Amino acid sequence: MSNDVVILTEAAALQIKEMMKHNEEEGALLRVSVKGGGCSGLSYGMGFDHEVKEEDLHFAQHGIQILVAKEDAPILSGTKIDYKQSMMGGGFTIDNPNAIASCGCGSSFRTATAAGTPEEC
């Protein structure tokens, strides 16, 4: 078992590579983060970054360089990011084993140790 904080599936990695190409971000790093908000108190963030900061954990999966801030690591530990295609289009799914509550929008959650600040969905 590696010490990677999040697990990226191959399907998610392929979609991220497509997005990088589409947005002319090839070679960018994928930042996975946690921020306050959402109906359960915390929400996930994913975006492209070009700089590894001192407070980042840095690892690679399926050819994607991934960054997670050390302060977000305990909340995200073991989180699986997948990409599912359906008749309604596609979307990323995030399965966080630390989440004890989540809401219908699927991007908001809280853990036993981090409640965040709940808002409306």
For the stretch 56-115, pLDDT in tens is 999 999 999 999 999 999 999 999 999 998 888 888 989 999 887 666 555 555 666 665
Is 0.85 surpassed by the pTM of this model? Answer: no
Q: What are the backbone angles phi and psi of residue 104, rounded to the nearest 5°?
A: -60, -30
* Amino acid at the residue 45: G
* Tokens of residue 38, six digits: 């959402």
Residues 6+ apart with CB under 8 A from 50: 28, 29
* Tokens of residue 83, six digits: 């990409």
The DSSP code for 74 is H
Quick one: average pLDDT of 32-38?
Answer: 84
Instruction: Check if the beta carbon of residue 90 is closer than 8 Å to that of residue 83.
Output: yes
* Tokens of residue 94, six digits: 């995030």
